[in-house]
Structure 1
Amino acid sequence: MSRTTRALCATAVAAGLLFASACAPSSQQNQATDAKQVSVLPAGVSLSGKTGTPAPKPLAQRASLKVGIPSKLELEAPALLAQVYGEFGKENLDVTFVTDTVPNLLTLLGQDKIDLVYAGAQALVFNALRHGVPIRWVSGVASSSPDSGVYMSTKYGSKASDFNPASLKGKNIGVNPGALAAPSEYGLYDLITKGGLKPDDVRMTPFSDIAAMVQALNNGSIDGATLGPPFTASIKPGTAFNAEGGYPDSMQIAGYFATTVLLGEHRDAGVAFFRAVERTVNTHLSGDYHQDTDVMTKMAQQLGTTVETLRIAPSVPFDFNVPAESVASLQKMYQAVPNTLQIDSPVKPEELIDLSLVIDAAQGK
């Protein structure tokens, strides 16, 4: 597939359109093109380490990468702070951040105009892979925060162990825009499934203003809501309880995406990027880093907020792994939403996940 055709395919994916035959991938295009591809973290391999590791390994020649981010979130702090602390410079690497919507960023990725995209593993990622874009999920971002999940009104219980998921039937649940078409709603989908229900059995009300969703939960105008930090701190005591976590440790819902171009001819730059990012986490963003004034001051400056606002939420448990279960679990959720997953056959973990960059980085290669 030519670069032009692949770009058109990526644009069609981002727009949610049906694909022309020109976008149909050959069997060769649908396979990993990088011989080092590793879709499952090998036993005994860790992506975390001690302060100052992995050590810098400067590139022989100065390289540059463009990294797409949809907005400045704490989940993107490892890359943003790697820039601030000069970790990319230590690798002889220049990094430029490009801010845009996820569909636009993935289109640019398919056009080879940017090298990496931070995003949730949305349905359009799976659609893009099936329609010829050689996209790979190359890194996770974090484990689910203990405070994230589906919060139900105390009219329906007081703790998760006593809550019957079947009682969700007919309830009005506040959700993020996109509802079950967004990976952030996996906890709600899991709860619906545990209750033996279908998505249509639950009324989902999307909120673009998450603060307004918290207010609706507090005043009883909705029965529940899918929430995460820092918004969970605004739930009135005794109003709601966490009925289901955001997502289990056995899966990931977001991270960095690249194409086989970065995994192939520009591989050294990709490994250098993740050496810098992993070193930033190991040095500055491990444990309860919210208590580190220097880190928090720099993070607040990058995110355009205040230290006090950031400290409302707990420190993020950064995790670069992408468990294989993530691929199947997210596809099952997207299949439950009409016209969301536009693929003929399920995507297998080994087709999408490639952890070789983060593994090589952690091992100092």
Structure 2
Amino acid sequence: MTGAVPAGAATTRAVRGRAGVVYGAVVAVGVLLAAAACSSPSSGNSEPKADLGTRAIRPVEGCGTTSWTDPADLAPTRTPARCRPGAPAPRPVPQTRKLTIATGTLSAEYVAPLQVALDKGEFKKEGLDVTLKVLPTPDALPLLAKGDLDALWAAPEAAVMNGVRGGFDIRWVAGNFSPDPRSRSGLWVRVKDGESADRVEMAGRKMGTMIGKGSVIAYPMEKALRKHGGGLDKIQYQQLGSADVLTALQNAGVDSAWLLDPVWRRVADRPDYAFLGGQPLGEPLGGMLYGPRLLDDDVDAGVALLRAYIRTINTYFAADYKKNAMFVTYLAKLLGTDEAILRSTPSLHMDWEIRAGTTDRLQSAYRAQGVTQGDALPERDTVNRSLYEEAVGRKGP
């Protein structure tokens, strides 16, 4: 892991610039709510104008029955939606649009589809002049809600839910990835005497994490902890730098830690460590978030942006893309990361769709951590699938 982007940084980088690999932004809930109170959101919690009932949906060549899956399908073996390579074909907007997408990093593998789309000219084919800007999620959200940013490549974290509850017109509009079954990126624990990997008592243990409370990993952590006598409210959190998490676990500074690719390989073959669980298979926990400009004011550009993103997945990331040695070399250079490290972990399952109920499950975990209050927001206030459905020619549920 290289140096993480400092909290509060707002740095615009060239596409080939380097940034630290981070899984999600550290959430500043209080600051976000204050910003929400001061901002002027466009439409509060109303349904965005991109509803399929108000726009003509046309069949899309190359995107047939495999270009959509039932959102209620939570099977870990679900095959992600796919069109043919090169589909959906570009349908450029009449006049070039300048769009800015904020992201916490430019070097993480889950950002690769955006990087490739920019490098291969897929956004340009849609008449879009796209800039990727490195910006932590708490800093980006108020700007997204006000229209100063067009999109955010992140996740529906607690800060996002609190922002929407406070009046931000923001929706999760496309997924990003789910892990390969061979990956063991996730929650690792040091096994005590008398314990086995099948049963570890987690209540009261200290967890080292670079993410902190309010991140989407609260959901998979909760699932893993409850299998082992713990819970998000029964453990202690110690926030650490990305380079310190593994060291603290190995030196017994913490009892457990959320280890990312490829760090977990350092303990994978040792009997004194156990893997308790990671991100659910087949269920993306992040991706593209839109603000009022692309949700309401310029839906054509919003659909075009997702069309370019989806076409990039279908063309370059449809299957096990790491089997292509030349593409891995290209990707490592584009991301500014070590090629050997990139090869050492399995390919991500790139997936633009959003599963039903994901934001419900996330909010349940956030409440367990004490970072959100009140009733859970209904999915209609947090998710909008209509833009990617329009991009692939899917007409209604």
In the superposition, the TM-score normalised over structure 2's length comes to: 0.77
Select between 133-142 and 102-111 the one with higher mean Cα deviation.
102-111
1:50-83 residue CA offsets vs partner (Å, 9 max, x unmatched): 2221122222222221111111111111111001
Q: Is the 8 A contact 1:230 1:312 kept in 2?
A: yes
Matches within 5 A, 1:18-167: 29-34=44-49, 36=51, 47-72=81-106, 73-145=108-180, 146-155=183-192, 159=197, 162-163=198-199, 167=201
* Structural mapping, 1:303-322, within 5 Å: 303-322=335-354
| 1:181 alignment partner in structure 2 | 214
How far apart in 1 are the matches of 2:320 and 2:97? 33
User: Over aligned residue pairs, what C-alpha RMSD do you find?
Assistant: 3.0
Q: Is 1:242 the equivalent of 2:275?
A: yes
SS in 2 for 1:334: helix
- The answer for the alignment partner of 1:207 in structure 2 is 240
* CA deviation after TM superposition for structure 1 residue 198, in Å: 4.1
Instruction: Give the match for residue 349 of structure 1.
Output: 379
Amino acid at match of 1:228: L
Segments of structure 2 that go 5 or more residues without pairing to the other structure are 1-27, 54-68, 74-78
Structure 1 residue identity aligned to 2:44? Q
Aligned with 2:349: secondary structure? coil
Deviation, 1:236, is 5.3
C-alpha distance in 2, partners of 1:213/1:47? Answer: 35
Q: Distance in 2 between matches of 1:46 and 1:149?
A: 22
Q: CA deviation at 1:298?
A: 3.0
Relative distance call for 1:364 and 1:195 in structure 2 (3 A) is: closer
Taking the TM superposition and a 5 Å limit, the aligned residue runs for 1:212-223 are: 212-223=244-255
Match of 2:59 in 1: none
Task: Verify the 8 A CA contact 1:275 1:364 in the aligned structure 2.
Answer: no
Cα distance change on mapping 1:60 and 1:265 into 2, 3 Å = same
- Structure 1 window deviating more from structure 2 (51-60 vs 236-245): it is 236-245
Tell me the alpha carbon deviations over residues 196-252 of structure 1, each in whole angstroms, 9 at most, x when there is no partner.
54434223322222x432233344443322122121222252242322222353x43
C-alpha distance 157-71 of structure 1, shift in aligned 2 (>3 A): same
Match of 1:294 in 2: 326
Contact kept in structure 2, 1:199 and 1:336, CA below 8 Å:
yes
Offset at 1:93?
Answer: 1.7
Contact (CA 8 Å) 2:50, 2:386: kept in 1 or not? Answer: no
> What is the SS of the residue equivalent to 2:178?
coil
In structure 1, what is the Cα distance between the partners aligned to 2:311 and 2:120?
10
Please say if 1:15 is aligned against 2:50: no
Deviation at 1:95, TM superposition (A): 0.8
- Structure-1 separation of matches of 2:48 and 2:291: 10
Q: Distance in 1 between matches of 2:333 and 2:111?
A: 13
Instruction: Work out the CA distance in 1 between the residues paired with 2:394 and 2:95.
Output: 18
Contact 2:165/2:377, CA 8 A, preserved across alignment? yes
Q: Is the 8 A contact 1:41 1:321 kept in 2?
A: no
Alpha-carbon distance change, 358 to 158 in structure 1, aligned in 2, over 3 angstroms:
farther
Structure 2: distance between partners of 1:114 and 1:24: 14
Taking a change above 3 Å as real, the CA distance of residues 294 and 95 of structure 1, as seen in their structure-2 partners, is farther
Q: How many residues align?
A: 343
Distance (Å, rounded) in 2 between the aligned partners of 1:110 and 1:19:
10
Q: How much identity, in percent, do the aligned residues show? A: 30
Shift of 1:136: 0.6
**Structure-2 separation of matches of 1:29 and 1:52:** 37
Q: How far apart in 1 are the matches of 2:122 and 2:71?
A: 27
Q: Deviations over 1:72-112 (max 9, x none)?
A: 11111111100111111222221111111111111211121
Q: Which runs of 5+ in 1 are unaligned?
A: 1-11
- Give the structure with the larger helix fraction: 1
Partner SS for 1:181:
coil
Partners of 2:52 and 2:386 within 8 A in 1: yes
Structure 1 residue ranges, 4+ long, deviating more than 6 angstroms after superposition: 19-26, 42-46
